[in-house]
Chains A and B, each alone.
Chain A
Amino acid sequence: MLRTNLQHTDTNADFTDVVENNENVMICCGRMGPMCLPVYDIMDSIKDNYENVIFRDMDFDGPAGHNIASLPECRRFNGLPFTVYFKNGKVVAATTSIQNKKQIKEILDREFA
């Protein structure tokens, strides 16, 4: 269970709902670890500036985690968190391990502008 200020995606149904029913979605899938916490914090700090994007986190070890872990775009990844950006239900970008604010904003601005 993640303890962040973000909205969580806890179940398979949550995941399907958020990805299929929203145009722009960013999901950070990780644990409460040192590489993951900064990404959650960045998402929380910028979410108000991207009203067109749905920001969610997901417990890598939770019941919905496999939805992200099994994506072809994450096949090579072995550093948490796995952060995936969806546009109209399709993956448009995916990153592994810690990212900084600049890297995250670059993807958001490029994919969801």
Chain B
Amino acid sequence: MNNKYDVIVLGAGPAGLTAGIYMSRARLSVLIVDSGTAGGQMVMSYTVANYPGVETTSGWNISQTMLSQAKSFGCKVLTQSPVLSIDLSSELKSVEVEDEGTFHAGAIILATGGVPRELGMKSEQQYKGIGISYCATCDGDFFTDKEIVAIGGGNSALEESVGLTKYASKVTIVHEFDHFQAQPWIVEEARKNEKIHFIMAQDIVDFTGDEHLEKVIVASKATGEKTEIPAVGCFIFIGYVPNTGIFQGIINMNERGEILTDQLMQTNVPGVFAAGDLREKRYRQITTSVADGTIAALSAIDFLQQKSIN
């Protein structure tokens, strides 16, 4: 495989694939590398109803179309290929990819998105798939007529909890704060649902059970008093964290690990751009990632043109 490209894009979500489409269409040689599946978090959406110009479809379908577009214009795409190291210190930047070797490019676009936030407890891993789930649409029907817990207080947590009441006999929403971050309309819908109960301002202490999950143990933030919630299922919806660990110390970030860019998606390192959910920004949608990817691509094209002129 060729190991030198005009631009390497790290991440094959909507931002990375869009950048790849724009740059390969501009006749640049582009390599896109992703440690997971093409589409990133977009594939987590069963239904996408607000992507302009596209009838209601799934995130998987949009991602497959974007991937096929990128490839049709000549992008080389490596998925399931973790990046082992990067060197952005010289003009020719390097990316080492597991099982594939080291690749070089004059510009890099960082578009590694976010990864689901986990509670970080050993018992969370222990009961994954035997009680703990992250996808209501996938696993909700395993809990028909059972009592379950949902953890979180954002839009996803409340929307998915309402959806889970189609199956479960009781859904207890546990949230770390005494108020929800979700939009008022979905909070109201959840509050009106008789199957949904709320336990606010709690820390998750442990998950216990024998062959499968049986209890979720929580503790009051105010008093420390522990409560055991009987539950054979627990759905965790506590948001995402930016997938930027490998760039720490190289690229400027805020305290949450989100990459800082200017309006042209330029980072503090010349020739390195960032696009999508790993950036510091207020709104995270497929459309905003696509916009970021477009701007980053055009900026990278301009950067390489200026470099060749000089």
Contacts and interface: CB of A to CB of B under 8 A. Distances in A.
A38 interface: yes
B80 A45 contact: yes
Contacts of B139: 35, 78-80
Given A35-B138, A37-B60, A45-B79, A78 B212 contact: yes
Q: Is the interface of B mostly helix, strand, loop or mixed?
A: loop
A45 B36 CA distance: 11
Interface in B35-91: 36-39, 43-44, 46, 58, 60, 79-80
Given A32-B58, A45-B80, A78-B233, A97 B46 contact: no
A33 B138 contact: yes
A33 B46 contact: yes
Contacts, number: 71
B142 A78 contact: yes
Interface stretch (B123-131, B190-198, B264-272): B123-131
A78 B138 contact: no
Contact of B134 (A30, A35, A45, A77): A35
B80 A41 contact: yes
B118 to A, nearest CB: 12
B84 to A, nearest CB: 13
Nearest to A3: B60
Interface residues of B, number: 27
A41 B133 contact: no
Contact of A76 (B46, B60, B130, B135): B130
A35 B133 CA distance: 9
Given A36-B138, A76-B211, A41 B143 contact: no
Contact of A31 (B79, B80, B131, B138): B138
Interface string A50-87: 00000000000000000000000000111110000000
Nearest to B146: A78
A39 B118 CA distance: 19
A9 interface: no
Interface of B: 36-39, 43-44, 46, 58, 60, 79-80, 128-135, 137-139, 142-143, 211-212, 233
5 contacts: A30-B138, A34-B43, A35-B134, A37-B39, A79-B142
